[in-house]
Structure 1
Amino acid sequence: MTQQRRYGGRRTFLASSAALGSVGLAGCGGLIGDPDDGDDDGDDFFGQIGSGRGFPEPGGTPMDDLPDLAGELVLYNARGQALVGELLSHLESRYDDFTVEENPGGSADLVNLILEEGSATPADVFFTVNSGALGTLADEGRTRSLSSDVTGMVANETFATDDWVGTSGRARTIPYNTDAYDESEIPDSIDAFAGDFDGQLGWAPSYGSFQGFVTSMRILDGDEATKAWLEGVLDSGVQEYSYESEVTRAVASGEIDAGFANHYYIQRHLAGNPDAPVSTAFTDGDAGATFDVAGATVIDQSDQPELAENFVRHLLSGEAQAYFAGRTYEYPVIEGVDPVGELPSADELNTPDVDPTQLSDVEGTIELMRDAGVPV
């Protein structure tokens, strides 16, 4: 029997329930942006692709080579309008018979909502910044297996499973002030920042991405070593900020010398301030080089799985991957599209061997940070 659709249009938003029980996804929300991060300059990104005025013509599979989207898709969207609204609007305008009925919310709230709704959920696709949320739905049996036509579009097999695919990526980095340091002076080991770095550091310990990074350190090095690292950084007199965008701005202004942040904050800052004295350094194979992905999955109860899977394929098209690179400054996950800025490709990064779906399990991380004296 066809499930009843509960939404009146993509811009008619419903609040997801905040009272639903926890499923171990504390800290999943807010991993990409902060209130100041929307890129709302009004330019038509897709109209400028390959024009010489915008993003170069991407590789990968063009949307023209994908089946048309037709029908009404219910999208549980944990990515946010500021980041993906333009992409969704482009797909609706490209296909006359296609509409997105969008239910926005935090990753944890939407996962809990899908689990609470059970077989009555109207969700066709879940789109999130956090791979841990995707892993939770898969573990609960609430996802539909994806075809190789979808999973095969992703360049790195670690960015996809049978149940979900990564659609863009983010790398942990060290933003540093180029007036104060040369790149060769920035340590390539995260351990060095707990005592051997002589500059003023900044971090955002209450921010979800930082907590995911500390979770990665716990997985790789254990709780004792992670606590010692946190205490060492605290002893250095590290400056505290609410968001990693603020860390990056503080580095660029010279308020601090270096910090800890996802890579795209540096690229976003440089996009608006191309002469700012801030650049990106990477550590080598440790928790400081952790790579995580945003991604999407088809919900098991979708009554139109073909449309849902085709929508996910569109998120991996050349144009959509160019959007993630050129508009949100994330790492693309297909071959033929490069990240924006003077960055190595995802394959060139020496990332640690950490299952990204474990990075959202931060309850123990928050407890450890508090034990170390970190304000969270």
Structure 2
Amino acid sequence: MSVALSRRLIHVVALLVFLVPGSFALAEVVNVYSARHYDVDQMLYDAFTEETGIEVQVLEGSSDQLVERIRREGMASPADVLVTVDAGRLWRAEDAGILQPVDSEFLNDRIPAYLRHPEGLWFGLSQRVRVIYYSPERFDPSLVSSYEDLTRPELEGRICIRSSNNIYNQSLMASIIEAHGAEAAEEWARGVVANMARSPEGGDTDQIRAVAAGECDVAVGNQYYYLRLVNSEDPADRAVAQQVSLIIPNQEGRGVHVNVGGAGVVAGAPNRENAVRFLEFLASDQAQELFANETYEFPVVDGVEKHPTLEALGEMKFDELGMDVLGRTNPEAVRVFDRAGWR
């Protein structure tokens, strides 16, 4: 048998061991089910393996698909770690009963309490903030200093924003419910709907492009989508970014809305110790710098060097509402959107 063929067979056997529920666990491996799809993720996996000798095997999919798969696989699941984005999705995994508590002194010391589950079911590992974009040529930024200002009559027919099905918007709504109550949050949602320039469509980058194209004057999106355009190798992307400015909202009040990319150890993890080591590595300075410099996400650890364009956003006040609260409020946020007619 040739060396090349032998290597292929080893690879196939390893893959089958990972993908087939109930199969035995490989030594020195951590099996990651990931709903993150960023280039930096492979860099993180490689760095972890180099530091620990533990191989990272990854199965990618949407968050809902992976949660359901782990739920179906039960205690026979090969999954050790679930990685996903947004507090609402972390809550869905928690609610499905597929995560187990982790008591790590390292994680508890490194990650602020509001960014992790109070019982250690999951940990926020990168932060993103939801900002307001505007056209500096067509819009007076003094009109808006908060999310609440998006209902002002001067903004009628001028706002682009994603649909209510979007988990990022659902978490923003959850934060508004927690700040003002469901009734006031519904009134806010109706005001934003009345000010929309078009029916909700597309992703966060599409909202920024719409402002640049003159389809609307104001939009809402996470900061890293804008920074991707700023740092793109494509001149057309950079040209879009040059036509848009941003507002960091609610700096005089509760702070800008924060969400996380995070992870938890799966309830039946066959490689639990390796899974915990993997989470601890993601909270290390090395990993946190990769988040901040490759995906333009805010680190969860203080003092980590950030990409210059992320640093250029300046100091800002974060809303330190617990991510677990955002998650628990997600079902109410969906109901509020539905009542307000936000599609």
Which residue among 330, 336, 342 is the counterpart of 1:368? 336
CA distance in 2, matches of 1:343, 1:124: 36
Conservation of the 8 A alpha-carbon contact between 2:83 and 2:262:
yes
1:280 corresponding residue in structure 2: 246
1:219 corresponding residue in structure 2: 178
- 2:250 aligned with 1:289: no
The amino acid that maps onto 1:290 is H
CA distance in 2, matches of 1:333, 1:164: 14
Q: Which has the higher helix share?
A: 2
1:145 corresponding residue in structure 2: 102
**SS of residue paired to 1:359:** helix
CA distance in 2, matches of 1:87, 1:107: 19
1:164 corresponding residue in structure 2: 122
Conservation of the 8 A alpha-carbon contact between 2:88 and 2:167:
no
> Relative to structure 1, is the Cα distance of residues 14 and 225 closer, same or farther in structure 2, using a 3 angstrom cutoff?
farther
1:288 Cα offset (Å)? 8.3
Which residue among 169, 179, 191 is the counterpart of 2:148? 191
1:278-314: CA deviation from partner (whole Å, max 9, x where unpaired): 2221221678832111112222322332221111111
CA distance in 1, matches of 2:43, 2:17: 16
Sequence identity, in percent?
A: 26
CA distance in 2, matches of 1:8, 1:277: 52
Instruction: Point out where structure 1 has 5 or more consecutive residues left out of the alignment.
Output: 1-6, 17-69
Which residue among 223, 227, 244 is the counterpart of 1:263? 223
CA distance in 2, matches of 1:356, 1:98: 30
CA distance in 2, matches of 1:224, 1:179: 35
Give the alignment of 1:205-354 within 5 angstroms.
205=163, 206-239=165-198, 240-272=200-232, 273=238, 276-284=242-250, 289-339=256-306, 340-345=310-315, 348-351=316-319, 353-354=321-322
Conservation of the 8 A alpha-carbon contact between 1:146 and 1:164:
no
1:337-360: CA deviation from partner (whole Å, max 9, x where unpaired): 254242245xx4241635445337
CA distance in 2, matches of 1:278, 1:13: 45
Which residue among 32, 45, 58 is the counterpart of 1:88? 45
**SS of residue paired to 1:336:** coil
The amino acid that maps onto 1:100 is V
1:332 Cα offset (Å)? 0.7
CA distance in 2, matches of 1:361, 1:111: 19
Give the alignment of 1:79-118 within 5 angstroms.
79-82=36-39, 84-92=41-49, 94=50, 97-118=53-74
Conservation of the 8 A alpha-carbon contact between 2:71 and 2:98:
no
The amino acid that maps onto 2:219 is G
- 2:162 aligned with 1:204: yes
Conservation of the 8 A alpha-carbon contact between 1:264 and 1:328:
yes
Conservation of the 8 A alpha-carbon contact between 1:322 and 1:337:
yes
Instruction: Point out where structure 2 has 5 or more consecutive residues left out of the alignment.
Output: 1-11, 22-26, 233-237
**SS of residue paired to 2:31:** strand
1:245-295: CA deviation from partner (whole Å, max 9, x where unpaired): 100122234432211111111211211217613222122167883211111
Number of equivalent positions:
312
Q: TM-score if structure 2 supplies the norm length? A: 0.78
> Relative to structure 1, is the Cα distance of residues 97 and 359 closer, same or farther in structure 2, using a 3 angstrom cutoff?
closer
> Relative to structure 1, is the Cα distance of residues 342 and 321 closer, same or farther in structure 2, using a 3 angstrom cutoff?
same
1:21-45: CA deviation from partner (whole Å, max 9, x where unpaired): xxxxxxxxxxxxxxxxxxxxxxxxx
CA distance in 2, matches of 1:105, 1:227: 33
Greater Cα radius of gyration, structure 1 or 2 = 2
CA distance in 1, matches of 2:150, 2:17: 46
1:213 Cα offset (Å)? 1.2
The amino acid that maps onto 2:265 is V
Conservation of the 8 A alpha-carbon contact between 2:32 and 2:81:
yes
Conservation of the 8 A alpha-carbon contact between 1:292 and 1:356:
no
CA distance in 2, matches of 1:196, 1:338: 41
